[in-house]
Structure 1
Amino acid sequence: MTTAVAAFYFDGKTSRRHAVTLEVIDGMARIYSSHESSGDTAPMERVCPITQLRVSERLSRAARKVTYPDGAYLEIQDQAAFAVLLESTSHRDSLVVRMQQNWRATLAAAAALIVLLIVSYLYLLPAASGVIARSLPISVEQRIGEGALDFLDKHILAPTALPSAQRAAITARFKTLTASMDAVEPIPPYEIVFRKSRIGPNAFALPSGQIVLTDEIVTMLNDDDAVMGVLAHELGHLQRRHLMRRLIQSSAIGAAATVLFGDVSAVIANIPTVLLDMKYSRDVEREADDYAIALFKANGMSRQKLAYVFEKLGEKEAGGGGVPPYLSSHPASAERVERILNAR
């Protein structure tokens, strides 16, 4: 049985519309018009294999289009008849179109997209951030770190009040300790920067190699070995480029532009937020702890002093002093302290 379908034909070159009838016989699509129906001076006819025609997807209100290889097209007027015609030719919409017309498939696709986004955020983005961080030129990390320190000095940090002799002693001792690690794995270039903090005890490492140590955390610990533990932990973050990776994750688009075009402004603009609300993952904290443990072990130092850092911060929190910034960004727990003490 042949189904005739009413349509309008456009040649793709002019805006002139031809009222035509579409039929499909033996795999050939034929359109024709009569002088009376189209107003043309002569009837028109065109025949084309249906395999060369492209049918638009089905929408609830819009007319479907059938496009020819040369750009000419039909606008279908009788949608019901056209559906019957398509069925008779064994035409099937693409998988995407069929899914769009099926609410169950649409919900399944939405759920799959959500799962993909979660997996990408939890696993793919961290992995990609590590690759990007290792690919960044040193000059880029220097600019990022200098920009961050400049911002912090203007808004959060102040010049240190620690005696110069104490600062020199801390720097000299940590340099001695890191020398013993250099044979195990190369020590990244670093500089200990002393500052007074307006937000309490804190320490962090910048991508450019500065390890910022605040007067408040030195005074609170009141123990040279414990201070070495803080510095060793931060050097671990620096060694593994944790802050750079965190910055890339939190500003992925800007970081990608940095790699492609060398524009670090998008990443620098994101540093203050990341530093002030930095929540390292459990795995990242373990990496930094392991580095500090290895440094203490290489120097024959008791890991009790390393654990003491987090015990002391935990005591301050329990005493009603609020959550210290360093504890907030480096979560302490009995499990973590036990791991530090019992690690092989």
Structure 2
Amino acid sequence: MSASDNPLLVDYFDGLSTRAHRVSMRIHEGMLQLTGPDLFRQVALNKVQWSERTRHGTRCAHFVDGGLVQSLDNNHWDDWLKTQQLGEPLVVRAQQSWRWTALATCVLLLVAVLGYWWGLPMAARALTPLVPASVDRELGQRTLQAMDEKWLHPSQLDEAVQARWRQKFDEATRQDHSLSPQDTGHPYPAIQLHFRHASIGPNAFALPDGSIVITDELMTLLQDREDVLLGILGHEMGHVRLRHGLRSLIQTGLLGVVSSVAFGDFSTWLAGAPALMGHLAYSRELEREADDIAIAFMRHNQIKPSVMAVFFQRLKAGRPSGEELGIAFSSHPADDERIARFMAADLGDPAAP
């Protein structure tokens, strides 16, 4: 007996009423045939949508006009499909296997991890040049305003000291030719130094609009080492020139968008972007890029990069044991790694920038 001579008893619904027609279903010359006491119908196999096999669900086959056939016995239905060589797709078989499901879960987790560590940074790097400079200005201004309202206080430094440092840094930047706007593909915002008193301790951080905030505590910590202070400002200038603030925000935003697709609305993130900017931690890759800019900046100003070791030593001596304190609330590479990098640059190591 051929496969086409092996009928299966099913219920047929025409899509117009709830009445079930008990019919025999068989396949003949590429057509699905339904035969009953008062019914005969043929449907091309490529117009039939077979339901996926589930553990408890009733098996069905749907037609484009709304009709369907329904199994009377799931086991008989599954066996009949096999005899008709209408086996299940690999995806359906995989869904029924715990081993395949476990493997798919592991692959999904791996893709998620790789996407987080490599995919998001690459996407943020590609998207940043597409964002107009006006966004940097608006974001920086709003962030500084929000931080002034919550964490920062007017500087207690003498106005003459502040003015002298603004002039000194302006002269130092004019000596630096390590990175031009043509290298980065966008014009630089004008650097503006802002001095603030804050409870965050000796710190400095850069905002996308070119604002660099320096705390009074950092000025006090390095009041006798202007060369080190210039190195720190060069590091923050690197964040500005490479648009690290915007890149990090885009990366965080992409993560929020991806999460929103899976878990819900992301309008809250958009509304809180300026506040998020204040807490944003740069990746270690971005910190290393900013260190490279600082090294070049110091070299052009006849400052040995190795002097930055003084900064890390004083920070370590002045903070409680186990407490990490870094510039701009950031996830910096370990102090020892950064010191070694600045020392290598001082010694002319060809591997250093």
Gaps of 5+ in 1: 35-42, 257-262
**Matched position secondary structure for 1:71:** coil
- Of 116, 129, 132, the match for 2:127: 132
The answer on whether the counterparts of 1:3 and 1:84 sit within 8 Å (CA) in structure 2 is no
Alignment RMSD (CA, Å)? 2.5
1:156 equivalent in structure 2: 151
- Of 310, 313, 316, the match for 1:314: 316
Find the aligned partners of 2:274 and 2:155 in 1 and give their Cα distance: 22
Q: What pairs with 1:172-321 in structure 2 (closer than 5 Å)?
A: 172-182=167-177, 184-186=179-181, 187-222=188-223, 223-252=225-254, 266-267=269-270, 269-273=272-276, 275-276=278-279, 278=281, 280-317=282-319, 320=321
The answer on whether the counterparts of 1:58 and 1:97 sit within 8 Å (CA) in structure 2 is yes
Find the aligned partners of 2:312 and 2:190 in 1 and give their Cα distance: 26
Query: TM-score normalised to the size of structure 2?
Result: 0.84
Q: What CA deviation, in whole Å up to 9, does each residue of 1:236-276 have, x standing for no partner?
A: 111122222222222326679xxxxxx99835614545544
2:262 equivalent in structure 1: none
Find the aligned partners of 2:296 and 2:245 in 1 and give their Cα distance: 20
Find the aligned partners of 1:3 and 1:31 in 2 and give their Cα distance: 13
2:7 equivalent in structure 1: 4
The count of residues paired between Structure 1 and Structure 2 equals 328
Bigger shift: 24-33 or 91-100?
Answer: 24-33
Find the aligned partners of 1:201 and 1:159 in 2 and give their Cα distance: 15
Q: What pairs with 1:6-155 in structure 2 (closer than 5 Å)?
A: 6-34=9-37, 43-155=38-150
Q: State the shift of 1:151 in Å.
A: 1.2
Q: 1:327 to 1:139 in 2, by over 3 A?
A: closer
Find the aligned partners of 1:268 and 1:138 in 2 and give their Cα distance: 20
2:168 alignment partner AA: R
Bigger shift: 285-294 or 46-55?
Answer: 46-55
Query: TM-score normalised to the size of structure 1?
Result: 0.86
**Matched position secondary structure for 2:175:** helix
Q: State the shift of 1:307 in Å.
A: 3.0
Find the aligned partners of 2:82 and 2:106 in 1 and give their Cα distance: 31
Gaps of 5+ in 2: 182-187, 259-265, 349-353
Q: 1:110 to 1:4 in 2, by over 3 A?
A: same
2:153 alignment partner AA: A
The percentage of aligned residue pairs carrying the same residue is 33
